[in-house]
Amino acid sequence: MFLVEIEKIVQGGFGLGRIEGKVIFIPYTIPGETVRVEKTIPKKDYELAHTYKILRPSPNRIPPLCPYFPLCGGCQFQHMAYDTERAIKEEMFKETLRRMTGISGVTVNLVHSSPMAYRNRVRFHSRKGHLGFKTAKATRVVPIDRCIVCVEEVNRFLEDIRNERVQMGSRGEVTVFGYGGNYFWKEGIREVTVELLGKQVSFPIESFFQSNVTLLEHLIRSHILPLQASRILELYGGVGTFGVFLTEHCSHYTMVEEYPLSVEYARKNLGGRGVKVVQARVERWIPQAGSFDTVVLDPPRNGLSAPVREFLKRKAPRKILYISCNPVTFARDLKSFLSEGYKFDSITLYDFYPRTTHLEVVCQLERR
Ligand SMILES: C[S@@+](CC[C@H](N)C(=O)[O-])C[C@H]1O[C@@H](n2cnc3c(N)ncnc32)[C@H](O)[C@@H]1O
């Protein structure tokens, strides 16, 4: 048995403490808490708490509002006040930046909206016909009746499945998008049209679309609308969500996206003179790229591949707007841009996924 004080929260949402100098990770804790650890799982460089009790809880600890927490692996931060979660996320991000790039003292702003009923897009897993989320270790599905972070339309979908008003079939997982009074899914209405700052964007349920429409509008207003450029290249453009706005602010716009269905919708959403939508894997397309003064990037979690980083070094656009859903790969890519002489004023974090460890990062870089 050991007494451990939680020093900070690290990637994955674990509290970090020490036992005789050796790092121990304890889930669902808060910095400053004292924890009695009874049993640990030894790993190569650290211990993982298996059985433990919070002896001195943080004043920022709250009773979880969700009855499925922490068995359901969807959320990691339901046990703390939301302002504590935001402070922790900001600190986790700054630490990642320090560790990966060596830079500190950066201005970081965190933008948030409600931590409840915010999530439009979600993937459920099925267990014996009942829908739910996987456990943290992804070993089984926790069936749920309601999810408090999902919008009401998504919860209506769960209710309709439960009451057999709609049939899911034998499918193991299902993606649902709740918006504007309806829910959208593969066996029902498959095409979604979302209004963003007065403009309509359509997409099929199979395509990627951001999960938090409220904050997406905020991001577009603050970072996409102010972009003034002549020739814009957007890589990983999806269904053209940002393109709908970017095309209005430049004379030439090229977007590259690999998923054919998203490209089909991007062509419908964008259109117009001086607009080119290319269906290709970015890595395969770059040898034929022209010149651009501004590049907008929104890659998947693994960030930019080495050939794409090399391509950007060679092309040296004046401005790069980098939107990332992974602070670790963002920091790696930022380091590469900084070594090429790019500068930035600040970094904005969008809390697209309250109660989870995930964050959206936005940074505008310029050659000055
Ligand atoms: C994070 S999403 C961003 C989409 C879009 N910016 C949005 O906000 O809706 C990443 C997109 O990149 C596409 N993608 C992933 N890897 C790619 C690659 N190597 N080349 C081209 N597109 C890729 C995915 O299909 C997905 O649409």
pLDDT in tens, 307-364: 999 999 999 999 999 999 999 999 999 999 999 999 999 999 999 999 999 999 999 9
Closest ligand 1 atom to residue 239 Cα is 9
Helix (H) or strand (E) holding 255: strand 252-257
Average pLDDT, the chain: 96
pLDDT-derived band of residue 129, with 50, 70 and 90 as boundaries?
confident
Q: Could you say which of 16, 42, 60 is where a domain stops?
A: 60
Asked if residue 231 lies in contact with residue 275, where contact means CB atoms within 8 angstroms, the answer is no
**pLDDT at residue number 231:** 96
Please report where in the chains the tokens 């059985």 appear, as a residue: 51
Residue whose Cα lies nearest atom 18 of ligand 1: it is 281
Q: Write out the residue range of the structural domain in which residue 352 sits.
A: 89-114+208-367
Spatial CA neighbour of 203 closest among 264, 122, 279, 285: 264
Which residues sit with their C-beta closer than 6 Å to ligand 1?
208-210, 236-239, 241-242, 256-259, 262, 281-283, 298, 300, 325
Q: To 10 degrees, the CA torsion angle through 162, 168, 169, 174?
A: -120
Look at residue 170 and tell me whether its pLDDT is greater than 80.
Answer: no
Domain count, the chain: 3
Return the DSSP state at 20. T
The C-alpha angle 300, 230, 208, rounded to 5 degrees, equals 20
Specify if 34 maps to a domain.
Answer: yes
Q: How far is the CA of 39 from the centre of ligand 1 (A)?
A: 43
Same domain, 254 and 220: yes
List pLDDT tens digits, range 33-85: 999 999 999 998 999 999 999 999 999 999 999 999 999 999 999 999 999 99
Whether 225 and 318 map to the same domain: the answer is: yes
Last residue of a domain, one of 195, 224, 239: 195
> Where is the domain boundary, 170, 195, 220?
195
Q: Are residues 95 and 50 in the same domain?
A: no
DSSP codes of every residue in 208-229: ---S-HHHHHHHIIIIITT---
Q: At 239, which CATH number?
A: 3.40.50.150
- Per DSSP, the three-state class of 309 is helix
Tell me whether residue 80 is in a domain.
Answer: no
Q: Does some domain include residue 102?
A: yes
**Are 219 and 276 in a shared domain?**
yes
Residues 261 and 361 in one domain: yes
Distance 156 CA to ligand 1 centre (A): 29
Tokens found for residue 336: 């590469």
Tell me how far apart the alpha carbons of residues 262 and 255 are, in angstroms, rounded to a whole number.
Answer: 11
| Residue 183 forms part of a structural domain | yes
Nearest residue to 364 via CA among 333, 319, 329: 319
